[in-house]
Structure 1
């Protein structure tokens, strides 16, 4: 019995990831998340509740809050540090009929200068003796981009997402999933505050607002595989490739090792490597004002790479006073991420004066991500 626990966990992981024809278990989760790095701190709580009805319908609701404090490089070089709060609420329903699962979801988020709502539809089907699962998904997001201090500024942005997935149980110990996704974005797609910098005729630096194309299309392909080892552990591998119409190409690879200990512990370790090329219209320093039709200096549009090392632990609580829950776990995950930028420079006034415009040190920073949550199934 113990030997099969991790393999069942593996099956459930891929079933949830691909919306296979098994309703998720009833559960309540309370999460605290934190990101700290690059002068930015983001933290807050999240609560998820899921309940099935007559073993045919599963409904869920989620409440999520981000408290943001930002003194990032682009903020302190173009303005003042700021704080804000983002609140997200969402809910959905999954309907199981035979080997087919149909899903509908709605999410709405709000902050002082951004409003977003997204509707998602999904369907999945099991076949070949329940060894294979194919899933289709579509979502549409309708956002409004605003600007604090400019009450008349309100620009729309629309996002459509199409997804296709295939999950295959290859052997009793090995499962694999392949997924493809296409995203179509249209509208105001850049940050309403961020500026680019350029050289003025007198040799000083000047600033003007970023200007992105009003459309963007992107495609991604991912493959994930998980293998159950003879001594109860498991290994997971993921590879993903992304490219878009702005000439950004990105790849990431992740390796994860999962190891149970006795009856109540599961430990995880992972390494993830990511790298991307820059957008065709990106520049750290333009030669002059209005140097081209589209302008970007967002570091996420630049060429960069990162490597993440992560550790995690799950502990199953078997206290007598929690016996009315089928299963209760405490979960703690920590990632340390190092970001290195190939053509985004640390353009503080002191650096620009010491090294000269366009010759400042390249930017890099470390971030820590923490997720702690309580999960109770019933």
Structure 2
């Protein structure tokens, strides 16, 4: 792992655990399954690479990123089915890794959902603000100023759950060093595919954490070996998105989310207009500014709602996968080692 301000370090100082994954060790069926998964992931990462840098940190791009993540996690479920690799044949280490990673992902989702909920609460202040602007009463203008102050303080405050994401992401990065697979061609395909899933997951989650916290410390840069079909697409995506986010953060802009920044710009424009009441000469300019704020606030509200649904969908996807694995462990008798099920259920 390396962060933007640190030198790049290889993930596998003791050798590449995927060195045995080659066409000479796989049957034609397994090779097709592996290549199909990787080619699909490469295409998905390529589509996620924004054509315009202004798309980065917009709700539309973040929604697309979360949708992409859900699709990739669904693909790994499909791959496991096609591999015909029942849970009873899984190595205990694979199960441990899966349970640890999934519970960390649930924690990350909860942090993101709490931040989206917090931003939605800020919308209530905006709606109150816009309502007060419908009257010329000086008393209501005082309330409007109070709402403006409240909103600005709200959006500039920090969410402890998002701040803690850095620790969770570090755990996910450590999980990239997957358990060694011996005498199982299907296991090698599964571990290789899981590596791709986790790389995309870590990337998307680190971008979200950086966007919500306004901190470049949440950004992660991963070195991916060229042997993976999707490595070039991932490197291009990471370079493009992380580079633009770093530029935004280094400029001192906050908030950094596009729609939130647009609302904040309107608020800053309105604030001096209502300090001592609106001058008759400035009435038209004032009304235009209020209308502009209303449009931007509505766009922000819609973006928050759509992104919240996608984060919730990802949470449910991860949770359902955990439930399915734990259920299979119980029915297959793998739960004879109580440590496994204890590790899986108690942390949830």
What is the TM-score of this pair, normalised by structure 2?
0.22
In terms of fraction of residues, the more strand-rich structure is 1
**Which is helix-richer, 1 or 2?**
2
- Pick 1 or 2: higher relative contact order, CA cutoff 8 A, min separation 6: 2
